[in-house]
Amino acid sequence: MTGPAPSADPILELRGVNKTFGVVHVLHDVDFCVYPGQVTALVGDNGAGKSTLVKAIAGIHPIDTGTYLFEGRPVTVHGPNEVSALGVEVVYQDLALCDNLDIVENMFLGRELTSRGLLDEARMETMTRDALTSLSVRTVKSVRQPVSSLSGGQRQTVAIAKSVLWNSKVVLLDEPTAALGVAQTRQVIDLVRRLADQGVGVVLISHNMVDVFEVADRICALYLGRVAADVKASEVSHGQIVELITAGRSGGLGLAPAQAAESM
């Protein structure tokens, strides 16, 4: 992969995280790291715990036990606003964009800039253009286009650009290429790579192994709430990751046999 040499230290790290809902133990002693300048793919079958892990990182679900570290320091987060203040943004699959607003209005929704009591439209337009330009986005004709007029790929681009507008250090992308065509998927994958090349720690949650192996530096495979493996993408095959996702093991890689059986 191109881009700046990644730091040896993770920018975001979870150690030994557990999460239960009633009697259901969803996350079991999960260790998870995100490195600046790298794309970490988070993969797993439905029910593996991906969504719960993402929501724990986002501050939506408080962790029961374990440690949440940001830039090497333990932190306690009580909600999404505190996580955003750290520099962590999440782009969910539904994108949370308003069709009736234009790109600028969506980018600054809830964070509008004012000058002398009035909206500072000129500054917000400039910052929106700069954010899109920094990610080499050329598919958007005007920042005043209503979001309803955008394609699926363009909407995803706007959502990702919105996440980096506030100098985010970590961005989590939930299935960013789901329901996109080939050309639009290509645009989004290129954008994910450029995001990491700027030094951002990117987490890609995806079921698409082609996308994962094209853009990811590391792959973390979850199996029924446990980390089956966290490996360099260059050191594993497509088949091995599928086996880790479906069985928790692939040859000598993954959960111990007894642990994998216990998880079933």
In this prediction, residue 16 carries a pLDDT of 98
- Determine the CATH number of domain 12-263: 3.40.50.300
Q: Each residue of 56-85: pLDDT tens digit?
A: 999 999 999 999 999 999 999 999 999 999
Which alpha helices (H) appear in 10-49, and where do they start and end? Answer: none
List the single range of 5-9, 115-119, 229-233 with lowest mean pLDDT: 5-9
Identify which of 185, 224, 232, 169 has the alpha carbon closest to the alpha carbon of residue 41.
Answer: 232
pLDDT of residue 83: 95
**Quick one: 257 exposed, middle or buried, by C-beta within 10 A (0-12, 13-18, 19+)?**
exposed
Helix (H, G, I), strand (E, B) or coil at 221: strand
What's the whole-model pTM score?
Answer: 0.88
Q: Which residues are 18's β-sheet partners?
A: 65
Contact yes or no for 61/80 (Cβ under 8 A): no
Domain layout of the chain by residue ranges: 12-263
Q: Give tens-digit pLDDT for 143-173.
A: 999 999 998 888 888 988 888 888 899 999 9
